[in-house]
Structure 1
Amino acid sequence: MGLALRPVEWFNLASTHGPSKHLLHDDFYGDDGTAHQPEIPVVDPDLFPAPKLSGIADDLSRLLDMAITQWFLADDVVNAINNHNPETVLGNLMSRTDESQNVWVESTCLQICARSLGPTATDWVRSRYGKSPEVLYWWVSAAAACMPLDDAWDTTTAAIAKSENVREDAQSLGWFRSDRTLEWIEKQFPSLEIPVTQDWGRLAAISRITWSRVESWLSRGRPLSLVALDALVSCFHYDTLNLKRIQPKLATDATESHMTETLDRYVGVDDVPRVSRTVDRIKSNMSAIIGDGP
């Protein structure tokens, strides 16, 4: 193959296997299928372009092909899918998942359920639980959007309870954007014997943490106090794709001076470099942290 696929050839393979496969990876091909590092000349690439959205928006099958080729499902592709009959879309997603037995394809199909189908996909999303553990994160995105809340929540937390990587799988709870997640975090600490990484703070921020809860966690000390501080940082420092997408803010009626006094008081009882540096960052960005949030 010589890393010299023509754009439509790349598109056809990526729509079947996903763009993460080594020889289809974005190290070698652009989003439009252009070969970036061909080992041999690409033959007539201009005569074999990859499809453009404007040309396939009415062709559901080709539209879903395009969705699968994308590293990140684009809004304009989702909007085009939304113009098609939901039941027809679901039927196509079910067939593709069954026929491909491909984790990338299934994860994309679940994302489409989450962003396009809602309750139409309830039964199918429920049926996919546990079929491919590798796609738990995207399964939860669909469950949170398509299934009744209690059903989706209970199934997700049960899966996380059995996980060998609780910290990583717990990030899927961010799809609920709910204080249920904050209560769940409280129950995990300090009993959860894993490092308090910034992931927990990111999850708390995405889950709409409030200043009253931050104060509560600070008063309870480590490890929840560290999660609270990291959550405040995640209300202005958007260093992951999910944070950039959501851009959470801290809901509060407290004044900045009260918040500053509370943070300074906490530093007084936990004055270590990690804490003092984090509090300084928070105080310097207080106006960016506060807001109603999306």
Structure 2
Amino acid sequence: MDFRLGEDQLALRAGMRELLARRFGRERLRAAVDPPGQAGPGTGAVRLDRALWRELGEAGFFALRLPQERGGVGLGLPEAVLVFEEAGRALLPGPLVATHLAAGEVPGAATGECVVAAVDGHLVEWLEEADVVRGDVAQAVALRAVDPLTPVHRVPRAAPHDPVAALLTAAEQLGSAGRTCALAVQHARTREQFGRPVGAFQAVKHLCAEMLVRVETARSAVYAAAVTGDPLDIAAARLLADEAAERGARDCLQVHGGMGFTWESDVHLHLKRAWSRAHRGPCAAQAEEALAAGLLTAAERPGT
């Protein structure tokens, strides 16, 4: 299968990266994590940037898959994966997946005028900032979130998992994995120890190489699942993307050494977001069970 992007897809990805770099670059990310007037880092209430949300709507982020006759962009799941990959790379906060899936069904979701949250399994993100919540949130209980930019509530009644939501989450994980790989390589090239760049040491080379392999393996799986839309392909993509994001962030931390553990470094934010996303939708064990069942079913078919 040929996963080379077309000119329009490359332009879409570049445009989204440019928009996020301009509107949610590192300074804005750090300001969101450490807003002025807080008692300490990560101790204040998290607020959603409504102006940025509307700008995403104007750029077609939420209406990307909505047909043109209904006011959308009219593109498909592969293009949605590309923009969500960029969102993951930038650590863009907010209920992006829920609002995207609500476009065309909830008034204002497509344009970014309405923020939509949704129950996914037993969890719902950004409940208090949402204008519309899809699912039963009675008796919702706030949890202490590991990610400072993802407030989470737990609900007693679980909602079914949406395969498209799982794929878009995998795309976000892929973007984060790619970013931590790039951060590790950049640090390995510029940080010196004993008069040499730390990237000259074999252990660091191996860490960076393994990160890249995981990223590209996950990328192939995510892009393939976006083309096929098959639930088993999505389950495989989700497993690989979660692994690439979580292990990549941990390895990036190791490449950075002691400074990677400091609050001022961005590496820990990618690790915490990866952990947070990994609990969205089906867990790893559920995805593994689905894949195993699919393989057994295929093996039992005549002629296989």
* Short-chain TM bin: under 0.3
Q: Counting helix residues as a fraction of each chain, which structure ranks higher? A: 1
Structure showing the higher strand proportion among its residues:
2
Larger relative contact order (Cα-Cα within 8 Å, sequence gap ≥ 6)? 2
TM-score (structure 1 length as normaliser): 0.27
Q: Which structure has the greater CA radius of gyration?
A: 1
